[in-house]
Structure 1
Amino acid sequence: MAAAAAEPAPPRVGSVGFVGAGRMAEAIAQGLIRAGKVEAQHVLASAPTDRNLCRFRALGCQTTHSNQEVLQNCSVVFFATKPHILPGVLAEVAPVVTSEHILVSVAAGVSLSILEELLPPAARVLRVLPNLPCMVQEGAIVIARGRRAGSSEAELLQTLLEACGQCEEVPEAYVDIHTALSGSGVAFVCTFSEALAEGAIKMGMPSGMAHRIAAQTLLGTAKMLLQKGQHPAQLRTDVCTPGGTTIYGLHALEQGGLRAATMSAVEAATSRAKELSRK
């Protein structure tokens, strides 16, 4: 019996490229640089105008207006364009794609099968869904790999992106859910933080102080959940003493439908993500 063909070795990460230089690309680049995963001068970003590239230059990165130049100089390339632009960009760079590249799409709604159709047969493609807190190295990131990307590529990418926060490999079916939970979830959490602070402002606390304390409360609670590995209900029970302030506040939240509204928000955002994927 013939031995199974070995997976191609992943390239050494010399330079990291970004095709598209928007906020998410900047967040990933900033996380990688801050964590020392790559030196700023070894990051090359492309965009059609200087409007976004100036932020990369401020980080000390190299920039260009040529997408092909990024592929010609980088082994790991993140495609961080808007989804409707991505097919044209992939057609443009396809002639310079080789089997040595690891190509990573950050575009929501563009499936691995579509990405593989638009690229040469030997291309190794993965999808990554990060969220904006990658900018402060506290992101929530998932990775899904295409048919020609093996475990070595996924592990290399995971090692890189752990510099930006928590990173897990998942089946592609989970990507749209992650988009809603963690991508849109940033806006949901900000809305709750704002409301929490405004409640304190209503009761007489100064605005700046209320918003700082609300944000710190969210941060501290999240750290406890992650570090202790507790179910949120257990931590809630630890705070909620019989007849105390918390149970009265929780009762008001339940009357306002907070739990059902939050679940509906994640469901609505997931449905929209799936709808965009079909388009």
Structure 2
Amino acid sequence: MTKSADAFEKSLNTHATLVEARLDILLDATPRPAEVVRPRRLIEAMHYGALNGGKRLRPYLVMQAARLFGGSEEAALQVGCALECLHSYSLVHDDLPAMDDDDLRRGKPTVHKQYDEATAILAGDGLLTYAFDIIASPDTPLPDAAKVALVLELSRAAGIGGMAGGQMLDLVAETDQPDEAGIVMLQAMKTGALLRFACEAGAIIAGRATEDRDRLRRFGEIIGRAFQLADDLLDITSDAATLGKATGKDAAKGKATLVGLKGTDWARAELDRLVAEANALLEPYGEQAEPLKEAAHFIAYRKK
């Protein structure tokens, strides 16, 4: 690991600690105003699903993108935690027997294995809903207009034309294999949409104009594509012990991926190209953008 990579991982871990400490508070058993009670088993399953490990990469991107423009650190932490709740919901539901049917997530039993399927469904529902609660909460110090913009963008990223729609296309792809363009579209929705939101959210938090929002949005789209490409590469070249989850799943299900379609050499070259394109987008911001550039590098070349 290079000195730069080591410094980035330390920064990522520092931010992850902040996010996990806040999630621990947000997902405690104390009812909030207008709530009646937080059922013990449900809040425990939500807590387990959101706090069972992970890099906290999406909150990191929110926080660094906001910092790039001098946005509120507290608001960025809250929005980052909201995004992590929504991301965690997607993993809880993806792992269910009716979806990917996984027993392990980050080297630990998945929520439906640790609890049961019905509890896992409700835990996912709770995490999804809570994401928007956190953004709208008075505890998140942002103007109402910024909160509305964040809720709209997150809804679009997570919903029919974003992550949920991408998951539907992924299920269809098991029997009706898409071509290259179809794979790119599927992955931009299923994986890329939340990473795109994470980057644009920082500009929204800081109250930046359309030009900066668009530039960060495009940066997020590119690193989202790199993330999925690296994921597909690892699915072929790594092992379950390293990744903390099963490998070779796409090949076993007959799913088409860009790596399977075009080969590992092409995938590595494409990752180089995507990182260069992502970095070029951030050039106008100078040295302040280095943490985001390092994140792009980490996403493309990670080992797990």
* Bucket of the pairwise TM-score, normalised by the shorter protein: under 0.3
Q: Could you state the TM-score of these two structures normalised by the residue count of structure 2?
A: 0.25
Which structure features the higher share of strand residues? Answer: 1
Which structure features the higher share of helix residues? Answer: 2
Bigger RCO (CA 8 Å, 6+ sep): 2
Q: Could you state the TM-score of these two structures normalised by the residue count of structure 1?
A: 0.27
